[in-house]
Chains A and B, each alone.
Chain A
Amino acid sequence: MADAERMESAGDEAALRATPLPPGWDEAARLEEDPAVVPDPASVEVPADLRAEIEAHMAKYPDRHSAVLPALGAAQERHGWCSPEAIVQVAAVMQVTPAYLSSVATFYDMLRTEPVGDRYVYVCTSVACHTRNAKAVYDAICEEAREQGLEGVELREFECLGACDMAPMASVDGRYVGPLDVSDAQELVAAVKEDRHVLPGRGLEDSDYRLPWDRPDRPVHRPQGPPETPEGDAA
């Protein structure tokens, strides 16, 4: 097979793939660019507060590279995603190559390598939530988001968020809400869209949060050990 022909059939195969290729895989490499260049700090403009935040992170570690994740997080917060601009800014402050930062950013779920919105709703549909109808909740939220025209929000299924006790649940910009029902979808989406407090009282961090079935007076044994324990009261 001639090279051109082979390329063409490969192209067809790509078109037939059930799962789309990850971003960047079908773009030609920019061979004229040197990937290993550490940006000249003088040539990159970095917002002062972002620079200060990144430098504060670097100061906490024996090796400045340890600040890569917090720094990318900070840049993402400012830019909405790990955009090429955000990456170059971090690279300039940390004195590493942009390619190195991109390689890290693509590894982590919370770092966005595409502009999908600067707020997020992660709906957990992982194993424990799966047993409690999480997919239906996710579908209902998606449906509502379409109907209400929700924009600028990264809405996605997520793996276990460490809150299977409140399953099914979602994380709205880091605030965990649950247990959710299909009937909550409308209000959840509306609140996100109008930038209101989402499902008040049903967030894990709310001061009065309790699981609906939790009994505060449930019987527990608090064993005393030698010497006597200051907290051993209600045993």
Chain B
Amino acid sequence: MSGETRVLLATIDEPDLHTIEVYERLGGYGDRLRKALLQMSPEEVLKELENSGLRGRGGAGFDMGKKASFIPKGDMDKYLCCNADESEPGAFKDRLLMQKNPHLLIEGCIIGAIAAGANKGFIFIRGEYAHQADILDAAVAEAYDKGYLGERILDSAHSFDLVVHRGQGAYICGEEIALLDALEGKRGNPRLKPPFPANQGLYQGPTLINNVETLCCAPLIIEKGGEWFASMGVDKSTGTKIVSVSGNVERPGNYEVELGISCRDLIYGLAGGPPDGRDVKCFFPGGSSAPVLTKEHLDLPYTFEAMSEAGSMLGSGSVIVVDDSVSIVSLALRLAEFYRHESCGKCVPCREGTNWTVKMLERMDAGEATPMDIEVMSQVQTNIIGNCLCVLGDSMAMPVGSMIEHFRDEFEEHIEQARVRRGLEETAAYPSEAPLGAELAAAGESGPA
């Protein structure tokens, strides 16, 4: 279990896989979709998904079959939403799937819709993915032409319409409630849950929301069985996972692996590790929202369980590697700036906390902070966690908190060096107006501390 295991990406290098002809030739739609539509009951489809142990690939890692089973039965409009917002720094796996294999996602949406009893579906794709959205649009049109979408698919009792909906640039729209609001034409503001989307989602109807990769697993599970899927991976982390590896490694890219591979195999074996002469300083195991882990954690198995036991999370499965050339304060600052920019502004701890964190880190960098500020910043993070409507605030507070925890010495050193630098600069900038600097120099000291 040390190399790549390709299930979702088995055919990804086939030329023109994005066309329906090639996709069908390689086994797409066809028999397995007929099986789901005509031979299996919706309950059996749901059961198969539950048996696979497939956990959501969008961040929270919730059991997909279980979530689908929460959708109430009965005759009403129900919806399926595919979350293709993929905007968390470090994540780029859904992009690959949609660009190269759009029909796998469409087929996954159909199967998800059967399990949820949905008759209308939306793929919410981030607006920046213009090329991928064009490809999806074309693929959806092809699927309609061939009768895989629309009324009574393949003469079964199931009807399903699918619309590709483009966002306009807002990370928060990846959060499920915000996504539904954006889809309803509003600003993307999360709300308190419950009600959960499974009961009251899009247009107040029951709604199943799943990530692109989650839905892409569904056709394979129907074809080869839930047990087959569960036979890959370990414990409650079943199946394979496309891991986006980025940052300071020789070969950034998407690698599909069986869950349970060691972080070292992933970072060094597959992605080539940091450049020569550099060492891993820390890594985000689950995108920028995951608390950082350090070198000591490299031998942990890459699973939902092991990452959370180590105090972090597997999240969307994006590993950002940071080597020892990167200053931790600059990293924390860039991270905090992201969350400040993306905070929807609805809750005070998140809106103000992200802003204050940026300001404090800027102060540290500018030489205006004292080691006391680390304490204050740490407290700000603690006060954000658990006090917001959605987890965006926590998504900054936890990684920043983890950086302070693992690299406190470097923070202190950075603050001290910046203070010295600032002192020297001021002395140099105003030689005649800087009596203190001049006095110190006269006294043989190196400059104001």
Residue of B nearest to A232 (CB): B10
- A231 contacts which of B27, B188, B250 (Cβ < 8 Å)? B27
Chain A interface secondary structure, helix, strand, loop or mixed?
A: loop
Task: Give the interface size bracket for B toward A.
Answer: 35 or more
Are A159 and B183 interface neighbours, CB within 8 A? no
Q: Does B170 lie at the interface of the complex (its beta carbon under 8 Å from any beta carbon of A)?
A: yes
Are B87 and A160 interface neighbours, CB within 8 A? yes
Contact with A along B209-223 (1 / 0, CB 8 A): 000000000001001
Cα–Cα, bound, A34→B338 (Å) = 37
Cα–Cα, bound, A226→B224 (Å) = 5
Question: Which of B86, B171, B251: most chain A Cβ within 10 A?
Answer: B251
Are A127 and B320 interface neighbours, CB within 8 A? yes
Residue of B nearest to A76 (CB): B168
Task: Give the interface size bracket for A toward B.
Answer: 35 or more
Residue of A nearest to B250 (CB): A213
Are A162 and B91 interface neighbours, CB within 8 A? yes
Are B27 and A230 interface neighbours, CB within 8 A? yes
Are A126 and B334 interface neighbours, CB within 8 A? yes
Residue of A nearest to B284 (CB): A127
Are B182 and A128 interface neighbours, CB within 8 A? no
Q: Does A163 lie at the interface of the complex (its beta carbon under 8 Å from any beta carbon of B)?
A: yes
Give the Cβ gap from B93 to chain A, nearest Cβ, in Å: 9
Q: Does A21 lie at the interface of the complex (its beta carbon under 8 Å from any beta carbon of B)?
A: no
Give the Cβ gap from B140 to chain A, nearest Cβ, in Å: 11
Give the Cβ gap from B231 to chain A, nearest Cβ, in Å: 8
Are B5 and A223 interface neighbours, CB within 8 A? yes
B residues 1-49 touching A (CB-CB < 8 Å): 3-7, 9-11, 13, 26-27
Residue of B nearest to A163 (CB): B92
Residues of B within 8 A of A70 (CB): 165-166
Contact with A along B176-192 (1 / 0, CB 8 A): 00000011111110000
Cα–Cα, bound, A162→B94 (Å) = 9
Residues of B within 8 A of A146 (CB): none
- A218 contacts which of B4, B129, B252, B323 (Cβ < 8 Å)? B4
Q: Does B114 lie at the interface of the complex (its beta carbon under 8 Å from any beta carbon of A)?
A: no
**With contact pairs A107-B187, A159-B342, A220-B4 given, residues A164 and B89 touching in the complex (Cβ less than 8 Å):** yes
- A69 contacts which of B77, B168, B342 (Cβ < 8 Å)? B168
Are B185 and A68 interface neighbours, CB within 8 A? yes
Q: Does A165 lie at the interface of the complex (its beta carbon under 8 Å from any beta carbon of B)?
A: yes
Residues of A within 8 A of B4 (CB): 218-221
Instruction: List chain B positions with a Cβ less than 8 A from chain A.
Output: 3-7, 9-11, 13, 26-27, 77, 86-92, 94-95, 99, 120, 126-131, 163, 165-171, 182-188, 203, 220, 223-225, 228, 232, 244-248, 250-254, 256, 272, 284, 288, 318, 320-323, 326, 330-331, 334-335, 338, 341-342, 344
Q: Would you give 28 A-B contacts (Cβ < 8 Å), ordered by A? A: A60-B163, A62-B77, A62-B203, A66-B165, A104-B186, A108-B167, A110-B128, A126-B288, A128-B320, A130-B330, A130-B331, A131-B326, A131-B331, A159-B89, A159-B341, A160-B90, A162-B91, A162-B126, A163-B95, A171-B128, A205-B99, A213-B250, A214-B253, A218-B4, A219-B4, A220-B6, A222-B6, A230-B27
List the 8 closest pairs (A to B, CB-CB), nearest first.
Answer: A68-B185, A109-B169, A164-B246, A225-B224, A110-B169, A174-B130, A108-B168, A230-B27
